[in-house]
């Protein structure tokens, strides 16, 4: 299996000139050149097609066989017309190569009318075989495209969840969704490529028949077609430019629509309906103009070909008759030539339309390929050192954190210790770096400088999956899924039983209100939990962290949306939890962390004070000022 994967990887890597050894280097270079060279889009498509190469081979074989039978049908029709005119009475007038002896045997034993009927029957059978093979090729292609689209969806979502948090957070949600939507356009492009190949093989078969009938007339016809296709190349090039413009406008539209819908409450409360409509309007206008102009150019292709088809056939009938000197015995050949040419021209039209469709879809394929690139993406680094629990504690040693695209440290030269089995609280104003501590501990971000040790080992050396299982986190930005209450809690530990889910809900003071919901724990909470209040969502998030049975439990402003009574119950729960695990609490309400073993005060990413609640009050520093301020607010009735 590993050998197969290695060969597949080397085949996809177009820069590799040595493997697989069973494919000659010249053929590999030819495949690269024909399929788009070394671009990431070409590499992606080659890799996908190689993965389903048996379907690709089946579709290709069916298309080749269909083209052969189509050409045979045209040749047999020529013989039928010759038989009907009596020209076969003295033998073949046009050679069929290796089939001459067989045809001569048929000719010598039958009358002209019987020969005509035999050849018509052979033509019908040949055409039925061609139709069956074409159907098989189309079915194989449909299966191929369906599986490729499914594979791309899986790869895209895996890429979204696999890249580092800083990387994925740079994208807007609407932008990420647009990548998934554009997979259909990649499938359309692959369908167009297959149709182009199928029609190209048929055109090749027709050209062979035309050369067999009259090579001078064929060269003239091919020359005319090449001139026409060259003239229309400019239309295809313009279509690609318009397609890119339409794609960019569509992406901008999706991003803005999603963002404004997510903030629809703010739009209404601030009376900004006209503003958001005015923001969207130029984007819609641009997309409409691009689509309209593209449609006009796309629509000119078919009428041009249809008009030239009639003119071309009439011209070739006249030229052919003159070329053959008015010889009536050449009429079957001339009629067959015109019939084949007339049958060929629509395929040339379709081929050009397929070219246009491929050009139209190419920007979308390029965009999907870019998001699937790995060389320009950041991925979480994982060590291989196992860890199942925290035994000693976590040490920050001169840790620095600067977020991407910022010019100021969020945390600067931070040195502190979080002892195992104790409750550590962080206090500070907004922007002091409290949540950055959580980001570092959960490895959403890695330090820009310094190091973080757990039990004396840099946390980057631990297996990432093992390290993440140690933590249960309740964020200040509470998120719940559009699923049942039980499933939202069980997201913390998928194998948790119903009893464990309910026990976690009781600890989070959520069990009572859950029981009052119309379906209890089976109640679906709606998109982003709109059926719940902010405090209810937060208590579900706490239950989700508790059911995880973490070694380290982090509360990042976890009680900010709770009333005073619920907060007191959570404080009691924290007292019970601290006996079993390490607690890290970030709280705006200082009453929540008054019983913490140590309180660390941050100011602009710098540790300014540390100690217990009573010790910090005695020092009469920043913490004491905050405590007095909150105490006076409560005494004064300010809620």
What CATH number does the domain containing 338 carry? 1.20.1560.10
Q: Is the pLDDT of residue 239 over 70?
A: no
Any domain includes 113: yes
Mark whether 366 and 474 lie in a shared domain: no
Mark whether 290 and 427 lie in a shared domain: no
Computed over every residue of the chain, the mean pLDDT equals: 76
Mark whether 270 and 186 lie in a shared domain: yes
Answer yes or no: pTM beyond 0.85: no
Mean pLDDT of 41-60: 81
Mark whether 114 and 232 lie in a shared domain: yes
Residue 455 CA to residue 419 CA, distance in Å, equals 10
Find the range with the poorest average confidence among 51-60, 176-185, 257-266, 509-518.
257-266
Pairing, β 552-556 against β 393-401: unpaired
Higher-confidence residue of 428 and 305: namely 428
H-run or E-run covering 471 = strand 471-474
16 — pLDDT class (breaks 50, 70, 90): very low
Mark whether 426 and 323 lie in a shared domain: no
Any domain includes 97: yes
Q: Is the pLDDT of residue 604 over 80?
A: yes
Mark whether 361 and 428 lie in a shared domain: no
Which pLDDT score, from 0 to 100, does residue 450 have? Answer: 92
Buried b (16+ CB within 10 A) or exposed e, 206-241: bbbbbebbbeebbebbeeebeebeeebeebbebbbe
Q: Is the pLDDT of residue 112 over 80?
A: no
**pLDDT > 70 in the chain, percent:** 70
Report which listed range, 177-186, 310-319, 535-544, is most confident.
Answer: 535-544
Q: CATH no. for residue 579?
A: 3.40.50.300
Q: Is the pLDDT of residue 328 over 60?
A: no
Mark whether 164 and 242 lie in a shared domain: yes
Any domain includes 587: yes
Which pLDDT score, from 0 to 100, does residue 219 have? Answer: 75
Contacts of 533 (CB under 8 A, 6+ apart): none
On the CB side of 266, CA atoms within 13 Å amount to 7
Mark whether 300 and 426 lie in a shared domain: no
pLDDT digits (tens, 9 = 90+) for 115-161: 778 778 888 888 888 888 888 888 888 888 888 888 888 888 888 88
Mean pLDDT of 277-302: 69
Which pLDDT score, from 0 to 100, does residue 2 have? Answer: 41
329 — pLDDT class (breaks 50, 70, 90): low
Beta strands across the sheet bearing 411-419: 411-419, 393-401, 449-454, 457-458
Pairing, β 449-454 against β 393-401: antiparallel
Closest CA to 614 of 590, 635, 579, 630: 590
Which pLDDT score, from 0 to 100, does residue 499 have? Answer: 92
Which pLDDT score, from 0 to 100, does residue 29 have? Answer: 67
Any domain includes 453: no
Which pLDDT score, from 0 to 100, does residue 295 have? Answer: 65
Mean pLDDT of 338-349: 72
Q: Is the pLDDT of residue 90 over 50?
A: no
Any domain includes 276: yes
Higher-confidence residue of 262 and 170: namely 170
Q: What angle do CA 402, 407, 412 make, to 5 degrees?
A: 40
Contacts of 246 (CB under 8 A, 6+ apart): 287, 290, 291, 294
Mean pLDDT of 205-216: 77
Which pLDDT score, from 0 to 100, does residue 435 have? Answer: 87
Q: Is the pLDDT of residue 447 over 60?
A: yes
What's the start-to-end Cα distance of the chain, in Å? Answer: 65
Residue 634 CA to residue 594 CA, distance in Å, equals 15
Mark whether 341 and 428 lie in a shared domain: no
Which pLDDT score, from 0 to 100, does residue 588 have? Answer: 77
pLDDT digits (tens, 9 = 90+) for 430-441: 888 888 998 899
Q: Is the pLDDT of residue 11 over 50?
A: no
397 — pLDDT class (breaks 50, 70, 90): very high
Q: Is the pLDDT of residue 22 over 50?
A: yes
Any domain includes 399: no
Report which listed range, 35-39, 394-398, 534-538, 628-632, is most confident.
Answer: 394-398
Mark whether 336 and 426 lie in a shared domain: no
Residue 503 CA to residue 500 CA, distance in Å, equals 5
Mark whether 330 and 479 lie in a shared domain: no
Any domain includes 23: no
How much of the chain is in helix, strand and coil states, percent to nearest 5?
65, 10, 25
For helices 173-181 and 331-372, what crossing angle results, to 10°?
150
Buried b (16+ CB within 10 A) or exposed e, 129-164: bbeebbebbbebbeebbeebbeebeebbeebeeebb
Closest CA to 471 of 552, 549, 391: 552
Strands (E), 380-458: 393-401, 411-419, 423-427, 449-454, 457-458
Q: Token pair of 458, please?
A: 């840099």
Which pLDDT score, from 0 to 100, does residue 375 have? Answer: 78
Mean pLDDT of 467-477: 85
Domain that includes residue 477, residue range: 422-432+466-597+606-635
pLDDT digits (tens, 9 = 90+) for 567-591: 676 666 666 666 678 889 988 778 7
- Number of domains making up the chain: 2
Any domain includes 7: no
Mark whether 547 and 476 lie in a shared domain: yes
């Amino acid at each position: 299996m590993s050998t197969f994967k290695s060969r597949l990887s080397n085949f996809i890597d177009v820069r590799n000139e040595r493997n697989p050894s069973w494919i000659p280097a010249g053929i590999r270079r030819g495949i690269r050149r024909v399929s788009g060279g070394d671009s990431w889009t070409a590499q992606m498509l080659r890799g996908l097609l190689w993965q389903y190469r048996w379907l690709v081979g089946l579709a290709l074989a069916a298309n080749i066989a269909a083209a052969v039978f189509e050409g045979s049908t045209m040749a047999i029709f020529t013989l039928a017309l010759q038989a009907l005119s009596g020209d076969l009475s003295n033998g073949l007038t046009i050679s069929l190569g290796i089939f001459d002896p067989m045809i001569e045997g048929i000719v010598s034993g039958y009358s002209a009318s019987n020969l005509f009927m035999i050849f018509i029957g052979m033509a019908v059978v040949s055409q039925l075989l061609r139709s069956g093979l074409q159907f098989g090729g189309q079915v194989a292609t449909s299966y191929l495209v369906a599986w490729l689209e499914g594979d791309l969806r899986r790869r895209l979502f895996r890429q979204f969840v696999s890249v580092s948090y800083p990387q994925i957070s740079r994208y807007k949600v609407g932008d990420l969704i647009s990548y998934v939507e554009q997979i259909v356009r990649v499938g359309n492009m692959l369908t167009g490529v297959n149709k182009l190949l199928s029609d190209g093989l048929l055109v090749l078969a027709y050209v062979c028949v035309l050369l067999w009938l009259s090579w001078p007339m064929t060269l003239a016809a091919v020359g005319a077609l090449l001139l026409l296709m060259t003239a229309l190349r400019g239309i295809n090039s313009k279509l690609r430019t318009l397609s890119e413009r339409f794609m960019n406008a569509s992406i901008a539209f999706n991003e803005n629509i999603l963002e404004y819908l997510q903030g629809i409450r703010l739009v209404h409360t601030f009376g900004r309906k006209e503003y958001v409509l005015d923001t969207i309007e130029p984007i819609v206008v641009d997309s409409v103009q691009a689509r309209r102009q593209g449609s006009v150019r796309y629509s000119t292709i078919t009428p041009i070909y249809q008009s030239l088809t009639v003119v071309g056939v009439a011209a070739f009938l006249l030229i052919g008759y003159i070329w053959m000197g008015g010889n009536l015995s050449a009429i079957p050949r001339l009629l067959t030539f015109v019939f084949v040419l007339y049958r060929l021209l629509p395929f040339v039209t379709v081929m050009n339309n397929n070219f246009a469709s491929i050009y139209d879809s190419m920007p979308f394929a390029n965009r999907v390929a870019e998001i699937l690139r790995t060389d320009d993406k950041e991925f979480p680094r994982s060590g291989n050192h196992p860890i199942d629990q925290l035994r000693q504690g976590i040490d920050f040693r001169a840790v620095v954190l600067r977020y991407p695209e910022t010019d100021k440290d969020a945390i600067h030269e931070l040195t502190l210790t979080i002892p195992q089995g104790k409750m550590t609280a962080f206090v500070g104003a907004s922007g002091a770096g409290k949540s950055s501590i959580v980001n570092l501990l959960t490895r959403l971000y890695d330090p820009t400088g310094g190091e973080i040790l757990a039990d004396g080992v840099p946390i980057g050396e631990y297996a990432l999956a093992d390290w993440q299982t140690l933590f249960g986190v309740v964020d200040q930005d509470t998120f719940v899924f559009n699923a049942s209450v039980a499933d939202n809690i069980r997201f913390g530990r998928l194998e948790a039983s119903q009893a464990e889910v309910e026990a976690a809900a009781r600890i989070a003071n959520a069990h009572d209100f859950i029981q009052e919901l119309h379906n209890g724990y089976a109640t679906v909470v709606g998109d982003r939990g709109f059926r719940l209040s902010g405090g209810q969502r937060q208590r579900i998030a706490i239950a989700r962290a508790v059911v995880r049975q973490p070694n380290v439990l982090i509360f990042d402003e976890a009680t900010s949306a709770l009333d005073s009574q619920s907060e007191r119950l959570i404080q009691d729960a924290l007292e019970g939890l601290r006996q079993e695990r390490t607690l890290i609490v970030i709280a705006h309400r200082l009453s929540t962390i008054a019983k913490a073993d140590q309180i660390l005060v941050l100011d602009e990413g710098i540790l300014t004070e540390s100690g217990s609640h009573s010790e910090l009050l005695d020092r009469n520093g920043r913490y004491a000022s905050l405590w007095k301020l909150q105490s006076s607010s409560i005494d004064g009735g300010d809620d």
